[in-house]
Amino acid sequence: MTSNVKRLFFARAERLVIALLVLLFMYTGFNKLFGLHQFKATLYNQPIPHNLAAALAWIFPCLEIIAASCLLFGRTQYAGILLSLILLGIFTGYIGAILLHLFPKIPCSCGGIFRHLSWQQHFVVNLGLVGLTLFVLFRLRRPPTEKSPLNPSI
Amino acid sequence: MTKIKIPLLLVALFGIAAAFVNRPQASPKTMHTYNFLQYSTDGTQIYYGMDLTSAGWVDGIDYDCYQPAAVCTFIADPTRSHTDLTGHWFYVSQIPQSGIDNSGTWTSNH
């Protein structure tokens, strides 16, 4: 691949991953809010204190929607990617802890788009998303040095 | 003022619409709240229970389980209830760590 084709490929991949994260977090965030009662019940079945579960039922969907919203604007995209990575890191770490049997029991799986996945499948999907988010994070951190075919104004 | 990326905005709106269409549906049935706790003859607490998921019950639809603390507390569809050995109604999402199941089999590890 020539350098221009490679650059174009990675630029398109970056846009695709950002779009995927927007779709994912808007979907999961609003899905939790639309079914807040069920989401609270799911959290009550997790090995965390009830007061914390009640607070997290609001905090997690709000953070997901904030992350997705940040990704919509060029100026806040980096912050959105960072927040996405933190959220995905928390979810992945939590699932990892469940798989390592660090909790006395394995609670029911989370709702939303992952309702039908096993914990193992959920973990693999999350790891993939973390990898893709890291890819975008490193690309956004790198200052553009040459004219990009997608950003001729640079 | 920073510009919004229109294609991403469309993706976001699609995500919100999909979340609304696939929102979890509340059970149309009337859900009741139950507590179940039984004292054995020596005064220790025992819980009766069975695995509702093995009976085809769906968590969040047929029942919601509130984490057992001192007493098992549930809300559940009263038409799908079970009785324990003494005739009490009970609902349990998981086999408790100690107690007997509804067939009288001792399930305690203690």
The ipTM assigned to this model is 0.81
Cα separation of A115 and A113, whole Å? Answer: 6
Chain A nearest CA to B85, separation (Å): 26
Contacts of A142 (CB under 8 A, 6+ apart): none
Q: Which of A79-88, A89-98, A136-145 has the highest mean pLDDT?
A: A79-88
Cβ atoms of residues A18 and A71 within 8 Å: yes
Task: Output the pLDDT for position A120.
Answer: 85
Task: Output the pLDDT for position A37.
Answer: 76
Nearest residue, CB atoms, B8 vs list A71, A105, A111:
A71
In a domain? residue B83:
yes
How many other CB atoms sit within 10 Å of the CB of residue A85? 18
Task: Output the pLDDT for position B91.
Answer: 44
Per-chain mean pLDDT for chain A: 82
Instruction: Decide if B19 and A30 are in contact by the 8 Å CB cutoff.
Output: yes
- Which residues face B83 on adjacent strands? B89
In a domain? residue B78:
yes
Cα separation of B32 and B63, whole Å? Answer: 9
- Taking only residues 79 to 138 of chain A, the set having a beta carbon closer than 8 angstroms to any beta carbon of chain B reads 105, 108, 111
With bands split at pLDDT 50, 70 and 90, how would you rate the model's confidence at B106? very low
What residue segments make up the domains of chain A, in order of their start? 3-141
Instruction: Kindly identify which residue of chain B lies nearest to residue A70, measuring between CA atoms.
Output: B4
Q: pLDDT at residue A5 above 80?
A: yes
The residue with greater pLDDT, B43 or A45, is A45
Q: Which residues of B touch A37 (CB under 8 A)?
A: 26
Structure tokens at A67: 């992350």
Place of tokens 């005739």: B87
First to last CA, chain B: 65
Tens-digit pLDDT profile for residues B30-79:
454 444 455 555 555 444 445 555 556 666 555 554 444 334 445 555 55
Structure tokens at A127: 């790891």
Task: Output the pLDDT for position A107.
Answer: 58
Task: Output the pLDDT for position A131.
Answer: 96
| Sign of the alpha-carbon torsion through B11, B12, B17, B20 | positive
State pTM to two decimals: 0.65
Cβ atoms of residues B48 and B39 within 8 Å: no
| Lowest-confidence region among A78-82, A95-99, B72-76 | B72-76
Phi then psi dihedrals of residue A116, to 5 deg: -95, 5
CA nearest neighbour of B5 among A73, A136, A22: A73
Q: In total, how many domains does chain B have?
A: 1
In a domain? residue B108:
no
In a domain? residue B91:
yes
Boundaries of domain holding B78? 32-101
Instruction: Decide if A111 and B60 are in contact by the 8 Å CB cutoff.
Output: yes
Task: Output the pLDDT for position A89.
Answer: 95
The residue with greater pLDDT, A117 or A30, is A30
CA nearest neighbour of B13 among A114, A62, A76, A68: A68
Contacts of B61 (CB under 8 A, 6+ apart): B25, B27
Contacts of B25 (CB under 8 A, 6+ apart): A35, B61
Task: Output the pLDDT for position A39.
Answer: 79
| Lowest-confidence region among A25-34, A105-114, B77-86 | B77-86
CA nearest neighbour of A135 among A47, A14, A1: A14
Interface test with B, best of A24, A27, A84 (most B CBs within 10 A): A27
* Alpha carbon A107 to its chain's center: 21
In a domain? residue B7:
no
Q: Quick one: what percent of chain A has pLDDT higher than 90?
A: 44
Cα separation of B22 and B81, whole Å? Answer: 28
Cα separation of A46 and A68, whole Å? Answer: 25
